[in-house]
Amino acid sequence: MARLDVSIFDKNLITTGGTPVPQKLAAQVLKSTSKVITMAIARLSVKVGKVGKASAHAEYIDRDGRYEKQKLNDLEHAAYGNMPTWAEENPNLFWQAADLYERKNGSTYREFEIALPRELSREQRIELIQDFIDQEIGTKYPYQLAIHNPKAMDGLEQPHAHLMFNERLQDGIERDPAQYFKRYNSKAPEKGGAKKDNTGKDYKTRKDEIKELRQRWEGLSNQHLERAGLDTRIDMRSYKDQGIEKQPEKKLLPSQAKDPMIREALMQSRRADQLVQQYDLGDLSKELEKIQQGKSLAQDIERGKAEFKADFEQFKAQALQQFREQQKLEQEQAKLKPSRGMER
């Protein structure tokens, strides 16, 4: 199997394709960096569920029904809240009613799918997501929560939360399932259904609200990480907004994620990115001010940065070529292998 080589030598100097980072640059970085802040995985996506999808999705996140076998494998925590009286003992009754009585072209739920910091303990992650629910949902919407924690591609934890909620407001009026999902009656609320929140918004407004939501999640997560005594933080900004020249990593299909060669190539690429980010080679202006060196040192560092980036690009190109050549060789070997019918 092809292997992409990223090595660490003395003083944590990075080598790319066998070529070490310029020693002068590495020495200055190590000298000037007194505290390294590592970045945790940051992801928050928003999904909308259509009529007929809510009950099945609730079973999926709660690992019920046909998903029961997965419960012991990756379900870390489950909870729900703000349900009407008739669904207080079984939240899936609420989602079944939503599928049955919500108008055909309506939505039955919204879902936040959120990556949780693996650096936090199970109890700390639950506390974080519960604080987020209190902040964003409060007592307004019926919701159901599940935290899954399967193994990631690197063999470590991959905790993430599924928070699905219905945007019909809880107003204290008792309604049976059929009435609950009827059209809201502003003149006589007790005669109509529960009022739908967040309706009639255009695309730009929705997009801006999601961006603001992600920033609130970043702030809350970093508070919890700091409270836990960790030097890890999350940054919900896009690479472009962070000033990072990098394309977002494409999501792999399940079949691709299981392929050993693809997994190894991806993990090596991630490790290389982490090493580069750890020393913040993209912007040394603050460190230059701290060490108060002359113009020649600044020029040396800029030259070293350029050399490192060039070496790293060469490494990635060589790694990709090595990967393709190995694939081609294995395909040719497979063609030359005699079939079972010809074996004696």
Dihedral (Cα; 218, 222, 225, 231), 10-degree rounding: 120
**pLDDT for position 259:** 67
Determine phi and psi for 143, rounding to 5 degrees: -145, 160
CA 198 to chain CA centroid, nearest Å: 25
Contacts for 118 with CB less than 8 Å, ≥ 6 apart = 40, 41, 152, 156, 157, 158, 159
Euclidean distance between CA atoms 89 and 80, whole angstroms: 10
Check 60, 80, 141, 279 and give the catalytic one.
60
Euclidean distance between CA atoms 15 and 36, whole angstroms: 20
Task: Kindly report the average pLDDT of the chain as a whole number.
Answer: 80
**pTM of the predicted model, to two decimals?**
0.66
**Tens digit of each residue's pLDDT (9 = 90 or more) over 30-46:** 444 445 566 778 899 99
The distance between the two most distant Cα atoms of the chain, rounded to a whole number of Å, is 87
Identity of the amino acid at 193: G
Who wins on pLDDT, 341 or 61? 61
Euclidean distance between CA atoms 196 and 183, whole angstroms: 9
Euclidean distance between CA atoms 252 and 235, whole angstroms: 22
Active-site annotation holds for 279: no
**pLDDT for position 1:** 37
Contacts for 34 with CB less than 8 Å, ≥ 6 apart = none
**Tens digit of each residue's pLDDT (9 = 90 or more) over 142-154:** 999 999 999 887 7
The mean-pLDDT minimum among 21-25, 123-127, 147-151 falls in 21-25
